[in-house]
Amino acid sequence: MSHLLPLRRAPTAQGRTIARAVVRALHTEVALYPKPGLVSLIDSGAHHDMDATTFLRSLFSLRHYFAAIADLGAAGHPFASLQWLGMRAEQRMLTATGGINTHRGAIFCLGLLAAAAGWQRARGQRPDRTTLARTVVELWGEAIAEAGSLSRTSNGSRAVRRYGARGAREEVLEGFPTLITVALPALDEVQTGLDCARRARVQALFAVMAELEDTNLLHRGGPDGLAFVQREARLFLERGGVHAPDWMERAVALHRACVQRHLSPGGAADVLAAACFLKDLEE
């Protein structure tokens, strides 16, 4: 039961620093607008059962989790310990939200990245996008693959089985390819070119939506729903993305179209939050 230790001990300064960066990234994501179909501070998107307050309550309930899992990573704990902590965090999230799934994807992918950041910093290494992704796979990839899907009834696992899609787990096991090769380059390019964090994040979200096999979209709209969002996101980018004068109008138009179709790219939102976390770590 050694994985209980970090829960009993106060988080380390290192764990708290990493956790603050994760919470900042998750807050940045939910506060960003427009995000097609997704919850923001402006509206609830395609969601009837949650709003920004739900997300903020959930975030508050997870404030200790990200510090504790960073400390577990620092101490070199196996995936079983991380998974145990992640499942407890999911329970706390569900208690805080009245049973609504706001951050399951984030608890998983950002939990693993936080644990890897803890491991690297405890060994005097400076985490960056390449080393962090590689650390997750090298330390816990085999166990994550062996653990498989804990739930055969989750929306994501059903979408993976039914459509043969790549879900959150596959994204991690392949070394976070969408995060590293799509989200972060889009963030970097716009941040450098326009020096506008908001437009950089919107561009990164659309770049991810254009590529990601998002199981949220598959369970909500099937392959047609996923194809619609990927196609519209590619069109947005081909017409200049956030560099175009009418970028806001076109992004809001897709937001409204997703709401009307009950489509919500939650996976893309999680990848965006992970990109914001990595940018924070690299600064």
Ligand X SMILES: CC(C)(COP(=O)(O)OP(=O)(O)OC[C@H]1O[C@@H](n2cnc3c(N)ncnc32)[C@H](O)[C@@H]1O)[C@@H](O)C(=O)NCCC(=O)NCCS
- Binding interface with ligand X (CB under 6 A): 82-83, 86-87, 104-105, 107-108, 111-112, 149-151, 154-157, 166-169, 171, 212-216, 266-267, 270-271
Point out the residue whose Cβ comes nearest to ligand X: 156
Asked whether 113 and 132 are in contact (CB, 8 A), the reply is yes
Q: Does 86 bind ligand ATP (CB under 6 A)?
A: no
Asked whether 272 and 119 are in contact (CB, 8 A), the reply is no
Per DSSP, the chain holds a count of helices (H) and strands (E) of 16, 0
CA angle 102–30–235, rounded 5-degree value: 105
- Tell the smallest beta-carbon distance from residue 174 to ligand X (Å): 10
Tell me which of 30, 70, 205, 275 binds ligand ATP, using CB under 6 A: 30
Residue 279's binding partner out of ligand X, ligand ATP, none, with CB under 5 to 8 Å set by partner kind: none
Tell me which of 23, 39, 190, 254 binds ligand ATP, using CB under 6 A: 39
Residue 82 is inside which H or E element, if any?
helix 79-97
Q: Does 6 bind ligand ATP (CB under 6 A)?
A: no
Residue 3's binding partner out of ligand X, ligand ATP, none, with CB under 5 to 8 Å set by partner kind: none
Residue 86's binding partner out of ligand ATP, ligand X, none, with CB under 5 to 8 Å set by partner kind: ligand X
CA 151 vs CA 106, 155, 157, 160: distances in Å: 16, 9, 7, 12
DSSP letters, 33-54, are: S--TTS--SS--TT-SS--HHH
Residue 38's binding partner out of ligand ATP, ligand X, none, with CB under 5 to 8 Å set by partner kind: ligand ATP
- Tell the smallest beta-carbon distance from residue 66 to ligand X (Å): 10
- Tell the smallest beta-carbon distance from residue 238 to ligand ATP (Å): 25
- Tell the smallest beta-carbon distance from residue 204 to ligand X (Å): 14
The residue assigned the tokens 């972060």 is 184
Positions 249 through 268 that interact with ligand ATP (CB under 6 A): 264, 266
- Name the token pair of 29: 């994501």
Point out the residue whose Cβ comes nearest to ligand ATP: 266
Question: Cβ neighbours of residue 259 under 8 Å, at least 6 residues apart?
Answer: 37, 45, 46
**Percent helix / strand / coil, the chain, rounded to 5:** 75, 0, 25
| Interface residues toward ligand ATP, by CB under 6 A | 29-30, 38-39, 45, 47, 101-106, 155, 216, 220, 264, 266, 269-270
